[in-house]
Amino acid sequence: MTSNTATAGELSADRTAGGFTHRQVLVILSGLMLGMLLAALDQTIVSTSIRTISDDLHGYSMQAWVTTAYLITSTLSTPLYGKLSDMFGRKPFYLAAITIFIVGSLACSFTDSMYQLAAFRALQGLGAGGLMSLALTIMGDIVGPRERARYQGYFLAVFGTSSVVGPVLGGLLAGQSHILGITGWRWVFLVNVPVGILALAVVTRVLRLPKRPRTSVRIDWWGVLALVVGLVPLLIVAEQGRSWGWGSAAALGCYAIGVVGILGFIAIEAKLGDAALIPLRMFKNSTFALGVVISFVVGAAMFGGISLLPQYLQVVRGSSPTVAGLQTLPMVFGMMTASIIAGQTISRTGRYRIFPLIGGTLLTLGLFLLHFVGADSHLWLVMIFMLITGLGLGNLMQPLTLALQNALPPKDMGVSTSSATFFRQIGGTLGVAVFLSILFAQLSPNIGHQMQVAASQPAYQQAIAQGVHSSNPADAALSKGLVSHDTSAAASVLNDSSMIQKLNPTLAHPLKVGFSDSMDAVFLSVAGMAALALVLVIFWKEVPLRTAGGIAASSEDSDESPEKVELVG
């Protein structure tokens, strides 16, 4: 391990209030962005290839468990990374997160069954839980909240890039039978390895943070166990409840175990005080407490809305995963543009309250407008609505993170940042589960109604007559089913939506309208959730942003100048 002492001679006019120059911040930021790219890209690249993977591994019905395994471990490990990094330092745990993620990715690429893939995705999730939250935490350490605003736009650029590149790359790799003698879909995981190794090398080389004083600490393992007992059943039922039935015996059992676990977690945290995984004293701070609630609600609205857009673009408009990824560019552009403008303005003025208000308003408006989108809507109109939604997210997400980091003392930087990420992920998970359940509950009656309406139209009747004798298996199956009043062929679209793209456009139209009508109802529900977030933001108190980063602020608290802090490699 090398050491380097920052001297007064090295200080220059461009040194930030956190004790680092702009160049030093950018160098450290490069390593953090590579780490975040791993987690962000993995989410989007796998989502477009999981169907191909599950078919190849003969486990189509198990693909939800692969997603759930990753979700559980990444969510549960997030607050643990935050707490441990507060006690022992950021760098070791960030390097550990990258290493675990690389090992998990490599293992996923050699899997032979869906059971193995679920286990290895869980291992990946253990690493991903630290990649996101610790990157934001380290930025909070080295740069003050006011200056930090102009740097966090880079993080949103990583998310925006991954949301476009991920689906395109996932569809491209999964669509190849073999690449260099290896099955195409296995490269979905293998691409993480070189990126991860590069991130590991960069972070090891450039991330130099002050050594933390050695103190006697107590790790809240009982709290971790209680959190596992509380959240695992709830996350499982969030993913599986749609197929089990929300009132089934399995779902009720998960609810009961989850409630017991959460109550136990709260009791343990109250007893342990500052040693707790998530110290309850933080919630006595009204700004932080309300901010966490806003994060939860925004997570539900954000992930709920974003999860519907690919459904609309692929199912209703017939876009491939690759094309659908490119069609979301307006939302990505809006998010990045708003984030940059908000960041630069906050950096100059030190005020942030206006941006969550603007963001909440635009997010609500964008999602509300999307509920007017139909099967025959012009794509340019849909893109305008996506742009408005993206502008809302860009104005909302960055100030929200800044405010939560700023609300608590610098010593809580890790646990405050990871807690905000944790509650946003929980909100997003539950939001996606609830809104997709609403979607599937609406599909059957809406599709049935649209097919009844279409049955009275001569063009549709003619298409059915032609379809009965068609050489197209999809047309023939649907047409024969409609002639014999057998609805099973139409209902099969709920299990395999790709059937819609194989149908004669006239036969497919009522199915597309039924889908879009169902999505309209869900977008309206998501807009209601965004409106709730806006109401909460109205009552949210603004706290003046600190100028010093976490490291500098901690040094001031201990009467130690940042220039004299020993930096370790």
Of the listed ranges 19-28, 116-125, 176-185, 258-267, the least confidently predicted one is 19-28
Domains 1-217+548-569 and 285-444+488-544 share a fold: yes
Q: Is the pLDDT of residue 345 over 50?
A: yes
pLDDT digits (tens, 9 = 90+) for 251-305: 899 999 999 999 999 999 888 887 888 888 888 888 888 988 998 999 888 887 8
> Which secondary structure element, helix H or strand E, spans residue 250, and what is its range?
helix 249-272
The predicted structure's pLDDT at residue 331: 87
Q: Is the pLDDT of residue 516 over 70?
A: yes
pLDDT higher for 392 or 237? Answer: 392
State the CATH class of domain 1-217+548-569.
Answer: mainly alpha
| 525 vs 531: CA distance, rounded Å | 10
pLDDT digits (tens, 9 = 90+) for 85-112: 888 888 899 999 999 999 999 999 999 8
Of the listed ranges 172-181, 236-245, 372-381, 486-495, the least confidently predicted one is 486-495
The most distant pair of C-alpha atoms in the chain lies apart, rounded to whole Å, by 87
| 261 vs 255: CA distance, rounded Å | 10
Predicted TM-score of the model (pTM): 0.79
- Asked if 39 contacts 91 with a C-beta cutoff of 8 angstroms, the reply is no
pLDDT higher for 159 or 509? Answer: 509
> Cβ neighbours of residue 484 under 8 Å, at least 6 residues apart?
none
The predicted structure's pLDDT at residue 60: 57
Of 1.20.1250.20, 3.30.200.20, 3.40.50.1000, 1.10.3720.10, the CATH number of 285-444+488-544 is 1.20.1250.20
The three-class DSSP label of residue 178 is: strand
pLDDT digits (tens, 9 = 90+) for 150-170: 777 677 777 777 767 777 787
The predicted structure's pLDDT at residue 61: 61
- Asked if 45 contacts 167 with a C-beta cutoff of 8 angstroms, the reply is yes
pLDDT higher for 509 or 160? Answer: 509
| 322 vs 260: CA distance, rounded Å | 43
pLDDT digits (tens, 9 = 90+) for 108-137: 999 988 889 989 999 999 999 888 888 888
The predicted structure's pLDDT at residue 320: 75
The predicted structure's pLDDT at residue 563: 37
| 152 vs 331: CA distance, rounded Å | 18
- Residue 232 has which token pair? 């695992």
Q: Where are the domains of the chain?
A: 1-217+548-569, 221-276, 285-444+488-544
| 529 vs 542: CA distance, rounded Å | 22
Q: How many residues does the chain have?
A: 569
Q: How confident is the model at residue 480 (pLDDT cuts 50, 70, 90)?
A: confident
- Residue 98 has which token pair? 């990258």
Dihedral angle, C-alpha 533, 535, 536, 537, nearest 10 °: 90
